[in-house]
Amino acid sequence: MKNIVLFGKPGAGKGTQAEFLKTRYNLTHISTGDVFRFNLQNDTPLGREARTFMDAGQLVPDALTIKMLQDEVEKHPGTAGFLFDGFPRTVAQAEALDAFLITKAWQVNAVVGLEADDDILVARLLERGKTSGRADDQDETLIRKRYQEYNEKTAPLIEFYSKQGKYYAVDGIGSIAEITERLGLVIDKL
């Protein structure tokens, strides 16, 4: 079983690459955003609990996010592995993911980081914002604020996974096919 975390700043291409990688390696793609939307739209108990925090303008606590993720993993008992997209976002979430996977006798095999210059990523998001309808992709100030939060909370995961020998940086600039090929060179060696 291969469990891979696809990592990178907003606009790095995680969602785009996940579509190719899940097919190429027969992985179950788990996007935290998709899991949240499912729980909210279907008014699940976890979705209702998350909504209470969101309606109050608060971040959903890690414990609740992790519970949603665990429930999603449980839906796919026969998978060849998971491709985690958008999770973990903090060291605490990474530790919780490791603890959960250990209960299954699994582990994170690799964290593959799509790396790119902020200015290039801002331009990508502004372009995406023209068609996505997402307000946070249409305002450069909001995008840079997301990057600041990423640098404070998510970037420490690079060191966390590097110490485990599991972090692999991949150049996230180029054509979709070029980036997919670079990712494949890393994953094929696992």
**pLDDT tens figures, 121-130:** 999 999 988 9
Q: What confidence category does residue 157 fall into, taking pLDDT thresholds of 50, 70 and 90?
A: very high
Distance in angstroms (rounded) separating the CA atoms of residues 51 and 17: 29
Residue 120 belongs to some domain of the structure: yes
The region of weakest confidence among 99-103, 145-149, 161-165, 175-179 is 145-149
189 part of a folded domain: no
* 93 known ligand binder: yes
48 annotated to bind ligand: no
In the chain, the number of structural domains is 1
59 annotated as belonging to a binding site for a ligand: yes
Q: Is residue 187 part of a domain?
A: no
The residue range of the domain holding 14 is: 2-182
Active site amino acids: 14, 89, 128, 134, 146
- For residue range 31-55, list pLDDT tens digits in order: 988 898 899 999 999 999 998 988 8
* Residue 134, marked binder: yes
Range 94-105 average pLDDT:
94
Give the CATH number for residue 124: 3.40.50.300
State pTM to two decimals: 0.88
Establish if 190 belongs to a structural domain. no
Would you list the DSSP string of 126-145? HHHHHHH--GGGS-HHHHHH
